Structure 1
């Protein structure tokens, strides 16, 4: 069981690592800090609740079941962090946000102190690593401790459910999807973890044994609920960045034919290499290198080649824009062939400005690359004629 719990804690905690991929920037954002704090505390709850951790804590402290108030206190801190996260996510005037955060801390801080105090007052001499909630359900002080930690966690998760339902009606897109994931995770926690715990404890109060709900049903439901909540918190912040990287990778690959044609004329510094270099960075290097190469090939641009290709494209029924791109691709291919053959630049090179240099971003370069692939001029400048030491 401990291995499964540790695995859930690791997966849960990895989302915080992803959000902190740029620590200097992230730590200045209260929303990112509160998100990471909630995720880290949630991971620590899992770690602390694992039987192996409980046994180790009990042995190191010399106090039987000391891992219980540690876990319950950590769970209460996690519940408080969820409320703080929702407060930052909702936003509002800074003074109001600060006041609500302090109120949450004022509610859960004393709760943690009371949990530890009740454990100290109770008699928990028999070590229980998996069924402490039900084993001590009727023990003085420990009974109150168990009930308090459950009520504190229930208050936070039910508040989350209400707020998620309310806010999901006011937002759209990824934020709504994230809120729905948080709602699903919270409901799973309420039904699968809390209700199972309450039922097992109340059964003990009435002399019945439903410990299996507390020991076998509640832990996996809590793990799954926490993972859904973490996905909901991370999704709206991470998915746009992932989409941007996917688009960059797509454009990087689509610029391959253009780079293969013009790389000889590029004098840009060699880009850093390594698997850790993200697609956006790779695309930026390729874009800069291509623009640098286009400047180097400008003395070889021939208006006659461009005009012939333009006329042919128009006769073929292409639109004015498509014909322009096709003509520029033909002129570029001819210039690349001349440069690769080390011919002299034209005495009067073209003064035409490529469409790809008139627009921002990579869209113009991608159009030019696609035109090169389609152009019959590609055969006049095979890729093998252009070599370079970097790409």
Structure 2
């Protein structure tokens, strides 16, 4: 059981790291900080509730069952963090958000203080690592502490369910999916953890023993509910960025044929290589470098090559757009060959502008790269360009070292 709890805590922490490192997000944004705070507190609750952790805390502090108020306090702080996250996520006037956040924090800070006070007043000499709630269900002050932490957690859960149901009617898309996940996780926690705990404790009051509900059923249900709930908070914020990164990686790869043709041309200095650079960052650098190379090759553009290829494409039954792309690919291939071989530019310089330099975003560059990749002359031209560029580099080096 402890492995399950620790595993869930690890998933919590990993999701927090991924969210905090999400490219393009304000690292210290209020929503990011509140999301990470809620997830980290949830992970701490799971870690603190595991029997090995409880035993270690008790031994370290020298106070029998000290892990109980620590865990209950963490759970109360987690409940408060969820409410704060909901308030920040819902948005609204800054003054209203501030009032609600401060009210939630004050209420749960008072709750934690009362929990600690009740534990101090209680007499709980026997260490209980798995069944403390039911073992001390009839013990003065411990009984009140147990009921109070459950009530505080239930209040936050019910508020979350109500907000999710109400807000879910007003939104669509990923936000609605996230709210449904939060609602599902909250219901799992409410039924699988809280109701099980209440039932086991009340049964003890009347002399019955259904401790398995508290010791066997409640912990995994709490872990599952917390994970589903955290997925609801993270998904609407993380999935769009993940999709954008995936598309960026695809565009980066699709620009390969175009970059292979132009990489010999002078471009902006490449940024230092870093393994953590995102696909979007790599794509942006490749876009900038390709545009620089296209600008450098512009004097070698030959309108005759472009017009000849365009007319051939139209005769072959291609659309005007396809013919234009084929013509531009042929002209660009010819220009790259001329530049790499150090030939003279055409006597009549072209003023033509490539479509890829007139349209923002990588879409037009990707279309041009695809056309180059499908062109029968594309591969030989690229190989010739690389060989010519390599020979040109060697020749320059030899000239540099001539005494």
Q: TM-score, normalised by structure 1?
A: 0.95
- Which of 31-40 and 60-69 deviates more? 31-40
Question: What is the rounded CA distance, in whole Å, between the counterparts of 1:379 and 1:38 in structure 2?
Answer: 54
Whether the 8 Å contact between 2:340 and 2:388 is mirrored in structure 1 is: no
Aligned to 2:282: 282
Q: What residue in structure 1 maps to residue 353 of structure 2?
A: 353
Q: How does 1:63-142 map to 2 (within 5 A)?
A: 63-142=63-142
Distance 2:155 2:171 in 1: 24
- Which residue pairs with 1:233 in the alignment? 233
Shift of 1:273: 2.6
Structure 1 residues 376 and 27: alpha-carbon distance in aligned structure 2, compared to 1, 3 A threshold = closer
Post-superposition CA distance 1:157-214 (Å, at most 9, x none): 1111111111111001111111111111101001111111111111111111111111
Aligned position for 1:252 = 252
1:60 is aligned to 2:55: no
Structure 2 counterpart SS, 1:264: coil
Structure 1 residues 388 and 306: CA distance shift in structure 2, 3 A: closer
Q: How far has the Cα of 1:257 moved from its partner?
A: 0.5
After superposing the two structures, state which structure 1 stretch, 3-12 or 88-97, moved more.
Answer: 3-12
Mean Cα deviation higher: 152-161 or 27-36:
27-36
Equivalent residues of 1:263, 1:387 under 8 A apart: no
Structure 1 residues 1-391: aligned runs within 5 Å: 1-21=1-21, 26=26, 28-378=28-378, 380-383=380-383, 385-386=385-386
| Equivalent pair of 1:26/1:33 in contact (CA under 8 Å) | no
Residues 303 and 331, structure 2, Cα contact 8 Å, conserved in 1:
yes
4+ aligned runs moved over 4 Å, structure 1 = 22-25, 387-390
Cα deviation, 1:315-366, whole Å, max 9, x if unaligned, reads: 1222222211110001011111222323222222211100000011111111
In structure 2, C-alpha distance between the alignment counterparts of 1:5 and 1:388, rounded to whole Å: 62
How far apart, CA to CA, are the structure 1 residues paired with 2:27 and 2:303? 54
Partner SS, residue 207 of structure 1: coil
Residues 389 and 286 (structure 1 numbering): CA distance in 2 closer, same or farther, change over 3 Å?
Answer: farther
The CA distance in 2 between the partners of 1:389 and 1:274, in whole Å, is 27
Answer yes or no: is the 8 Å Cα contact 1:266–1:290 preserved in 2: no
- CA distance in 2 between counterparts of 1:95 and 1:33 reads 19
1:239-282 residue CA offsets vs partner (Å, 9 max, x unmatched) = 11111101110000110011111112133313433432211111
Q: CA separation in 1, counterparts of 2:25 and 2:178? A: 22
Task: Name the SS for the 1:265 alignment partner.
Answer: coil
Gaps of 5+ in 1: none
Q: CA–CA distance in 2 between the matches of 1:345 and 1:72? A: 78
Q: Any conservation in 2 of the 1:189–1:221 contact (CA below 8 Å)?
A: yes
Following the alignment from structure 2 to structure 1, what is the Cα–Cα distance between the partners of residues 27 and 258? 40
Q: Which residue of 1 is the match for residue 400 of structure 2?
A: none
Tell me if structure 1 keeps the 8 A contact 2:260–2:382: no
| 1:2-45 deviation line (CA, Å, top 9, x unaligned) | 33322211211222222222799645422222111111111111
Gaps of at least 5 residues in structure 2 are: 391-403
CA displacement at 1:385 relative to structure 2: 3.6
TM-score (norm 2): 0.93
Following TM superposition, by how much is the alpha carbon of 1:106 offset from its aligned partner in structure 2, in angstroms?
2.4
- Taking the aligned partners of 2:249 and 2:95, their CA distance within structure 1 comes to 43
CA contact (8 A) 2:21 2:27 kept: no
CA gap 1:98/1:63 in 2 versus in 1, 3 angstroms: same
CA RMSD of aligned residues (A): 1.9
Change in CA separation of 1:321 and 1:265 when aligned onto 2, cut-off 3 Å:
same
